[in-house]
Structure formats: structure tokens, C-alpha cells
Amino acid sequence: MKYIVVGILLFSIIGCTPEPLDLEVEQAESELVVSTQIIPDRGMIVAITRSFSALSDGTEGSFDEEDLSAYLVTNAKVTIDYNNRSVELIEINPGLYFTIDVIQEVGPTYTINIEDTENSKTAKASTQVLQPIAINGGSAILDYRETGRTNLNMTYNFNDPPGKNFYMFNVYINPKLPEPGTDGGIEGSIGGSKGGGPQSDFSGFGNLFSDYSETWLVTDDGFDGQNIRQEHTVFDIAISPDDTIFYTLSNISEDYYNFLNARERSRNTIPFVGEPTTLPTNLEGGYGFFSMHYPFPYFLSIED
């Protein structure tokens, strides 16, 4: 009897299935997407791409280098205005614009202007640099597991000034600092090349200048005006005692913190199940975020 009931239910469900509807969904217009990376005491890089719709061919099947190159914005005019100056960035690679002439100072308003003349697109945003916060000290200890894998246990501490503050931490293994090359590329490096393991592109540039990079966010909740000491572990990483570890601590605005936090949540969302995340932006005529912040540098020696 129960099989008859199940059969009737299935028949009813199938019979109630509506005919598929032909829908024409208008695709969102492609806009400029901006991301910035500050290299302490060396300059800054601005990455500019074009957005694409989730309904476009760019997300169907594989997404290879040829697909990616179609979304890189080349031959754009990128300037940063501050203190009655206008500095034009040079294109060092497709979609990457670099300058060593912009000095991060607390106080001035920095405005980025982007002109993509090939596609008649413009974008603009303004921001300020917050007071840099120094790292007082830190450690990096290799943890050899019985499974044969290696974890990297890191600690750091810094003094949090009074008031609500937001921070971005970056760690790089064997960082390679960019230099403008004679061919317009990036050259120059420090450290070796033995790092490896999981990669992260949370900061927008990921592994561009190092064998491994990772970014995480910190607030001073519960530690306002105190010395903050925290730990961070990188699991299952290929690393050796003679590798170089480079920290940076950036005092960032609440708006930029919210942007980074929302972007991380969107990447962890299960497609068609999780709640869609809307990314905030400070750009007029584009997406992404223009931020000027000073990443305080700190090198660590690995303890074996």
C-alpha cells in the first residue's frame, strides 16, 4: 500500500511541474574594477580590470588566460592627485599600473582618476591615509607534525591607539619587491624560492610578489587602547628555516575593512545556497575599492 501512495505522490509532483519559461535577463553593463596594493617605501600598484556578468561566457566552462586577458584594462590613463600634485602611473604589465612617486602621508586627500579611453569608461575615488601602527615584535616557529606536514605558527603584537580601529595583516613568504624594469616589467627579489603550500588571493593580488601570501583582518574589539597580541597559523605549508617571512600591518578605514570582509564572505558562500553578498565600493563609475594605507613592515626569523 505504501508503494502505491509514494507512486501517487511522485506522479502528482511530476504532473505539477510547470513548463520551462524562456527568460531574457538583461546583463549588467561592464564597469571598471579597481584594486590597490601598497609596497612599503617602494610605491604602489593599481590593478584595473573589467567586470563581467555571471550570465556571460566568462563563467561558463574553464576560465583560461585568454579569457582573463579580455578583462584586463590596458592603455588606460591613471593619475593620483594630492597636495596640488598629479602623478601619472605607468603600465608595467597588462592591467597593472605602478608608481614610486606617491608618498603616503597622513592628512592629505588622495584622489584616483581612471580613463579607459578604449571603452569610454571613467572611474574616480578619494581616500586618506590613517596613522601607521608599528609591529612591536613577533615570532615564527615551524611545527613539524607526525603526519609529515609542517605548520607555521606566528605571533605578533602591537599597541592599539584609543578609539575604534581596524587592521589588515599580510604575511609573505620570500617576498619579491617590484622594481620598474627597463622593459616595463617587474624585476628584483629578495629571499629564496622554497616556499609553497596553499595560496590566497584575499588581498587582491595574492601570490604576485611572493611564494606564499595570506591576508586576514583584525579589530580592536575588547582591546581598545591596549597592547594586542595574537597568533596566526598557516597549515600544511612547504617552508624551510632559511626562507624569509615578511609581515605588514596596515591601519585601515572602516569602509575598507567592510569591503574586504564582505569580499571574503562572498568567496566562502556556497553557490545558489548562501545569501548573495553585495560588495561596498568607494568608486564613482566602478567597482572595487581605492585605499591608501601604510603597511608597517616587519621581518621575521624562522625558529626551527
Residue bearing the bigger pLDDT, 31 or 21: 31
Q: Integer distance in angstroms from the first to the last C-alpha of the chain?
A: 70
pLDDT in tens, 115-164: 998 889 999 999 999 999 999 999 999 999 988 899 999 999 999 999 99
Residue bearing the bigger pLDDT, 190 or 238: 238
Q: Among 2.60.40, 3.40.50, 3.30.160, 2.40.360, what is the CATH number of 135-258+297-303?
A: 2.60.40
Full-model pTM: 0.76
> What is the DSSP secondary-structure string of 30-50?
P-EEEEEEEETTTEEEEEEEE
Comparing CA positions, the residue from 203, 133, 193, 198 lying closest to residue 170 is 203
> SS3 of 257, please?
helix
Average pLDDT, the chain: 78
pLDDT of 281 > 80? The answer is yes
Q: In the structure, what pLDDT confidence band is assigned to residue 256 with cuts at 50, 70 and 90? A: very high
Does residue 134 contact residue 256 with C-beta atoms inside 8 Å?
no
